[in-house]
Amino acid sequence: MYTLVLKKGEEKRADKHPWIFANTVSHILGKDQQGSVAEVVTSSGRLVGRGFINHASKIIVRVLTRDETPIDRDLFLNRIRKAKEQREALGFDDNYRAVFSESDGLPGLIVDKYRDHLSVQILTLGMDLRRDMIVDVLREVFSPACIYERSDVASRAKEGLPERKGVLFGTLDPALTITENGLTLGIDLENGQKTGYFLDQKETRAAVARYAKGRRTLDLFCNQGGFALNAAKGGAREITAVDVSETALEQVRKNAALNGIENLVTEKADVFAYLREKKHAAERYGLIVLDPPAFTKSADTVKEGYKGYLTTNAAALALLEEGGVLVTCSCSRFMTIPLFLKMIEEASSVAKVKVKLLEIRTQSPDHAAEIGLDDALYLKTIALMRV
């Protein structure tokens, strides 16, 4: 077993966070395989924790235990069962995030449940080497019809791993549907965003319905149309769903048909250009949803990302009618709530409109973030009214 000795003074952070960065390590004792269990100790020899090691990553160890508890199948079984029980206690059933990485004590493992299918994302070497065991445990806990892997993410390269996706167990149902907020939604596990669908916004999508009645609605960066469909359910007068992906828009139209929604149209367009076009046309909307991809994915790009959010939000605010509502989102953990609020204040000034804060929301409770793990508190949504 490897033993990593921390530099003096690094134990304060290491005691609270499961990521051990390579530059906090003084030296390494022993030898083992990459992806094996390693222990981390302070400069005085006190055990900080044990986890999977990978010299290829800047995060050299991801801690799973703070004591000598064996990191074996039983540990995975107990933690996945506990994660499932916690979601069920909150009322989740048909679809939810079943395992949320560090927040469920399993760094590098994401599991989403879509009815009787599981979508699995494996992000680290340690988890990748235990894929077969993970599949076996998931079968025991969930008895799924299918387990589909969506490890086709660029971050795996940081662990020295190739991207991969495909069926790990069972047979994939290409006509898979889930029920969200009373709506029937088709889910494409093979080609949909992330693990197939953005489950983290389900409760915010329900909240949007409250603002939709009688309003002309614009859903920007609509993906598979979750916000647009919920707005229709809430009584929106007309809805336009805009995205640059025709594949996503095709799914929007299918989902609208599944629910008998006829007042929804799709527009294939670059959202930035679309906003400029609507401004020149002096269009006005009663409800606008702005849910873009992360404009900043690292601390080094926060300034640039801030400008992206500022420009887009100012353009959206300019299209709101008086009394209209903007629901604006950021899925970047680097765009903190205070920074996001600062951006909105500046955007309203640029757009020359006054706004009131209606509510601030974070990710759905099945994506609960452990206090202290700021990395897991990534999603924020703010609803504003133009006054």
283 pLDDT more than 70: yes
Q: What's the CATH code, domain 3-65? A: 2.30.130.10
| CATH class (in words) of the domain with range 73-170 | alpha beta
pTM score, whole prediction: 0.92
pLDDT at 216: 98
| CA atoms of 10 and 43, how far apart (whole Å) | 9
Three-state secondary structure of the chain: CCEEEECCCCHHHHCCCCEEEHHHEEEEECCCCCCCEEEEECCCCCEEEEEEECCCCCEEEEEEECCCCCCCHHHHHHHHHHHHHHHHHCCCCCEEEEEEHHHHCCCCEEEEEECCEEEEEECCHHHHCCHHHHHHHHHHHHCCCEEEEEECCHHHHHHCCCCEEEEEEECCCCCCEEEECCEEEECCCCCCCCCCCCHHHHHHHHHHHHHHCCCEEEEECCCCCHHHHHHHHCCCCEEEEEECCHHHHHHHHHHHHHCCCCCEEEEECCHHHHHHHHHHCCCCEEEEEECCCCCCCCHHHHHHHHHHHHHHHHHHHHCEEEEEEEEEEECCCCCCHHHHHHHHHHHHHHHCCCEEEEEEEECCHHHCCCCCCHHHCCCEEEEEEEC
Share of the chain above pLDDT 70, in %: 99
pLDDT at 192: 85
Band the pLDDT of 373: cuts 50, 70, 90: confident
pLDDT at 374: 67
| CA atoms of 384 and 358, how far apart (whole Å) | 5
Express each pLDDT in 213-272 by its tens digit. 999 999 999 998 999 999 999 999 999 999 999 999 999 999 999 999 999 999 999 999
pLDDT at 164: 96
Residue 151 CA, chain-centre distance (Å), reads 14
What are the residues whose beta carbons fall under 8 Å from the beta carbon of 289, sequence distance 6 or more? 208, 217, 218, 219, 220, 222, 227, 228, 231, 326, 327, 328, 329
pLDDT at 301: 86
50 pLDDT more than 90: yes
State the average pLDDT for the chain: 94
Lowest mean pLDDT among 133-137, 197-201, 345-349: 197-201
Q: Are 144 and 138 in contact (CB under 8 A)?
A: yes
Catalytic residues: 331
| CA atoms of 291 and 304, how far apart (whole Å) | 18
Query: Average pLDDT in the 103-125 region?
Result: 97
Express each pLDDT in 348-358 by its tens digit. 999 999 999 99
Q: What fold characterizes domain 198-386?
A: Rossmann fold (3.40.50)
pLDDT at 300: 82
Express each pLDDT in 284-322 by its tens digit. 999 999 999 888 878 888 888 999 999 999 999 999 999
Q: CB atoms < 10 A from the CB of 179, how many?
A: 12
> Hey, where are the domains in the chain?
3-65, 73-170, 198-386
